[in-house]
Amino acid sequence: MPVSIADIRCFLEALAAVSVHDSTPDLFFFRDDAQNFPFATIVTHDDPYDNRSWLDREGVFRLNFATDKPTFARLFPRLLSRKELEAATIDYSASDVLFPHPLYGRMRWVSVVAPDLSWPQCQDLLVAAHQLRELRPDSW
């Protein structure tokens, strides 16, 4: 059974000091109540500047989260420079596959559409994203 938005939200809210901005269809997860910069997001629809994942399909969403440089390099060893990232052929609509965020990959954000089998790996990466924000709040 695929992982739901509610499953992901429950997992993230169980981490220490997480607050959620949920006044839109998208969800933004912050390390504290200040809500300055999210460490993870769930996007549920396309918009004019971010439509490469085809999120307007029924029941489709994209989980996005921050990583550090070593983690991003481990996940995408052939996409370490901005030039390599821009030249890469990436299917941003593929389900259950980790890929650099369509817009923020150069800032080491990672995305996955409809995580399922990748969910255990996503959980580890989400905990790391939460800790990254916690341990280095000015690193963004």
pTM of the predicted model over 0.75 = yes
Per DSSP (E only), the strands in 1-140 are 19-21, 27-30, 40-43, 62-66, 99-100, 109-113
Of the two residues 132 and 44, the one the predictor is more confident about is 44
| Other CB atoms within 10 Å distance of the CB of residue 98 | 18
Burial of 123: CB neighbours in 10 Å, binned 0-12, 13-18, 19+: middle
Q: What is the pLDDT of residues 117-136, one digit of tens each?
A: 999 999 999 999 999 866 55
Q: How far apart are CA 133 and CA 29, in angstroms?
A: 11
Pick the CATH number of 5-135 from 3.90.1150, 3.30.450, 3.30.1490, 3.40.50: 3.90.1150
The answer to whether 100 and 85 have CB atoms below 8 angstroms apart is yes
The pLDDT of residue 79 is above 50: yes
Among all chains, which residue has been given the structure tokens 């990466």? 125
Return the number of other C-beta atoms located less than 10 Å from residue 80's C-beta: 12
